[in-house]
Amino acid sequence: MKIVLIGIQGSGKSTQGNLLSSKLSVPYLSTGHIFREITREHTPLGRYVKETMNAGYLIPDDKTLKIVSEYLARPEYQKGYILDGFPRTKVQAQDFKNSIDYVIYINVSDKEALRRLSLRRDGRDDETEQALKKRIELFYKFTKPVVYYYKERGMLHEVNGERSIDEIHQDICKILRI
């Protein structure tokens, strides 16, 4: 099963992605995690990704598509995956060549997302208040069109993300029929 989780930062995508990964026995892949991994590499790409993320900007579509496609070509993703943070733009959604079975949009308000993010701050360079506000702005500018893109294709399933982790998980499991 190939699942895409969409939602504003702080919506609970990683929590739900990890729960689904355990339940379905397919890997969970967060582009945020991939990019943070790349930033630890002392390479020009690593430095570029780190500077871009720390400023609160998105990694360009062509670089993101290439990185995600390389990861998904690995054997562990052949039986399925749960993607978090990708596709983040309409161009990425249109150019993504892998088939997707379900797109789940975890909908939370900006206020709730910021509240959650302020509680979880773990000292990451890319989670300053300024960077977080920039990400929320970018979500509406770039990712909200992805929500509409999948909705127009009849692939989008929206869940209310402002409830308990278990209630959200149960709703997602009903959608996936698991």
pLDDT for position 151: 96
Set out the domains of the chain in order of their start, with CATH numbers. 2-176 (3.40.50.300)
- Cα–Cα dist 71/73, whole Å: 5
Query: pLDDT truncated to tens, each residue of the chain (178 aa)?
Result: 999 999 998 899 999 999 999 999 999 999 888 898 899 988 999 999 999 888 877 789 999 999 898 889 999 999 999 999 899 899 999 999 888 999 999 999 988 888 887 777 555 555 677 777 777 888 899 889 999 999 999 999 999 999 999 999 999 999 999 9
Residues contacting residue 141 through CB under 8 Å, at least 6 positions apart? none
